[in-house]
Structure 1
Amino acid sequence: MQTLERNYSDKWKEYERDFDHAVAEEVIRDVAYYRTLLSNIIMIGAPNEDWVLVDTSLRQYHDRILHACEERYGTKPPKAIILTHGHFDHAGSAKKLAEHWQVPVYIHEAEMDYVTGKKAYPPGDPTVGGGLISLLSAAFPTKPVHLEKMIKPLPNDGTIPHLKEWRYIETPGHTPGHISLYREKDQIFIAGDAISTEKPESSWSVIFPFQHIYGPPAYFTEDWMTAEQSVKKIAALNPSVIIAGHGIPMHGEMMQKELKELATNFIDQAIPKHKRH
């Protein structure tokens, strides 16, 4: 246990020193992602065009995110920030980035209380197993984020401001108002935490990111039956590319096969055998 904690601490220090290497990786011409220590941020928009940021990682990452965005877009700010949900590793830098760029932040209406100081998420569940991150999850921040002056609810018709070709898909279960983003013309799917492409409970997966399709991070998932229905909804879309909040983007036959298997066998593959609730 102490060895794992030291390895995780060493990896964090490496990220602290790695500011100059905060560079987005392009998935296709108008979609890129930047992999932070715990989660991904996604940039939608080609260089020299209007763009939108999806998720904002941890609170400590705003400078690195700015660096990665400026490497791709120069000083041109995004039109908006979209949050898949309000957990600390997805909304952590939202306030500083929105203030820096003077842009609005959007989230599903069912998440609004968690990002306007009204409601806290349930604490992480260290009993779910799977690795060091699960064990540490009870100490993860769950208090409501205060974005009152900049946060707006997404339209209730599935459209996304400033992203005409995209729509959001309601994928609750991990949180009550969790969303994913989907573009039908090329079937690109931005999953947030509805599914993962690395084992999110394990610190080894952060260091050695082997690609597989997993369920949502177990230590923070609130409603497993609803999460199962969300995964079935994702599988029915038959995405060509999945960019998850945790893990490296996946595409191809193996991804589609594993996604269908997860949707079919969700109870056995995703739901922890031991959990607090």
Structure 2
Amino acid sequence: MNNNLNDMNYGSDYKYIPATSLRSGDGIEVTPDLYMHTIQIVNIALYGDPQNSDFVLIDAGMPKSAKKIIAVAEKRFGTHCRPSAIILTHGHFDHVGAVIELIEHWQVPVYAHALELPYLTGVKDYPEPDATVNGGFIAKVSPFFPQEAIDLGAHVKALPTDGTVPHMPGFRWIHTPGHTPGHISLFRAEDGALIAGDAFVTVKQESLYKVLLQQKEISGPPRYFTTDWLAAFHSVNTLEALKPTIAITGHGVPMMGEELTTNLQKLTNEFEQIALPNQGKYLN
């Protein structure tokens, strides 16, 4: 890994976003080796046995949240713990908000899908958020969210093409585009554990009220940032076909068992009614 830390920067629109939920600061041990923690309005996941200090961080939270993420990791894995890798489901601001500070603190490699790398190496900005979609206040204010590419330089690498996930034995990454071109989800067949990212979520992310309360309901990817709805539909179908038994999503609380099975089937069967906005500039 190139150890020159000066080659990294956030976009010029990078800033703290004063949005939160009642679950901010809460954590849930979803399986003995999977822990989910809510940072304001987004979730991070930590993979690893808490009896030792070897772990992997999945996604990197909101802007200015590095100290919180480090504290969460050290509480679970011990003081001065250091992850083997950071895996990014995608590069939106609320999933990479602290990644540069975490790289600097931990000297850790970052992995993402090859199609996501342009947004993580300063090459390409994300399309503008679509504030015209229906759903609530967060959708309306989405143009104020950071959208410019960040540049991690040589610190970010493409995930292995064979589907394996570095330092996460038993998991494979699955390309689940739609929300972004290089969006991925992580799945472990042994126990049906799914880290879905924003391929689908368990809260209506467009609604400030529902986000604040973390009101649980199956939903498609956040509407204001989703640019390919046909791909998003196919991605949800791909994940439903895996028959996951437990799901950690980028937004909302974990869903498991019969509740997850029933709701994922409902989302695939009623995707147009549940997920698609009534209007929007990215509707296929």
- Report the TM-score, using the length of structure 2 for normalisation: 0.89
CA separation in 2, counterparts of 1:205 and 1:103? 35
CA separation in 1, counterparts of 2:214 and 2:85? 30
Structure 1 window deviating more from structure 2 (77-86 vs 47-56): it is 47-56
What is the identity, as a one-letter code, of the residue corresponding to 1:155?
P
Is the contact between residue 196 and residue 214 of structure 1 (CA under 8 Å) also seen in structure 2? Answer: yes
CA separation in 2, counterparts of 1:209 and 1:118? 35
Cα shift at 1:212: 1.4
- The one of 42, 66, 80 aligned to 2:70: 66
DSSP-derived class of the 1:91 partner: coil
Q: Deviations over 1:58-88 (max 9, x none)?
A: 1211111111111001121010000000000
CA separation in 2, counterparts of 1:190 and 1:139? 27
Alpha-carbon distance change, 33 to 118 in structure 1, aligned in 2, over 3 angstroms: same
CA RMSD across the alignment:
1.7
Partner of 2:33: 30
Partner of 1:221: 226
Cα shift at 1:224: 0.3
DSSP-derived class of the 2:154 partner: coil
Aligned length, in residue pairs: 264
What is the identity, as a one-letter code, of the residue corresponding to 1:197?
T
DSSP-derived class of the 1:191 partner: strand
CA separation in 2, counterparts of 1:25 and 1:269? 27
CA separation in 2, counterparts of 1:271 and 1:61? 31
Partner of 2:158: 153
Mapping of residues 11-30 of structure 1, within 5 Å: 12=20, 22=25, 24-30=27-33
Partner of 2:147: 142
Instruction: State the 4+ residue runs in structure 1 displaced beyond 2 angstroms.
Output: 11-15, 22-25
Q: Deviations over 1:3-43 (max 9, x none)?
A: xxxxx96x65999xx8xxx4632111100011011210000
Partner of 1:270: 275
Partner of 2:246: 241
- The one of 42, 47, 55 aligned to 1:44: 47
Unaligned runs of 5+ in 1: 1-7
CA separation in 1, counterparts of 2:111 and 2:277? 31
Cα shift at 1:149: 2.7
- The one of 238, 259, 263 aligned to 1:254: 259
Is the contact between residue 204 and residue 210 of structure 2 (CA under 8 Å) also seen in structure 1? Answer: yes
DSSP-derived class of the 1:189 partner: strand
Q: Which has the higher helix share?
A: 1
Cα shift at 1:211: 1.4
Mapping of residues 121-136 of structure 1, within 5 Å: 121-136=126-141
CA separation in 2, counterparts of 1:171 and 1:270? 15
Partner of 1:211: 216
DSSP-derived class of the 2:169 partner: strand
DSSP-derived class of the 1:149 partner: helix
DSSP-derived class of the 2:218 partner: coil
DSSP-derived class of the 1:90 partner: coil
CA separation in 2, counterparts of 1:186 and 1:170? 20
DSSP-derived class of the 1:81 partner: strand
DSSP-derived class of the 2:118 partner: helix
- Report the TM-score, using the length of structure 1 for normalisation: 0.91
CA separation in 2, counterparts of 1:142 and 1:242? 27
- The one of 179, 183, 187 aligned to 2:184: 179
What is the identity, as a one-letter code, of the residue corresponding to 1:35?
T
Q: Matched residues, percent identical?
A: 44
Is the contact between residue 108 and residue 177 of structure 1 (CA under 8 Å) also seen in structure 2? Answer: yes
| Bigger relative CO (Cα 8 Å, ≥ 6 apart) | 2
What is the identity, as a one-letter code, of the residue corresponding to 1:167?
R
CA separation in 2, counterparts of 1:106 and 1:211? 30
Q: Deviations over 1:172-210 (max 9, x none)?
A: 010001000001100010000000011111111222112
Structure 1 window deviating more from structure 2 (211-220 vs 251-260): it is 251-260
Cα shift at 1:264: 1.5
CA separation in 1, counterparts of 2:203 and 2:172? 25
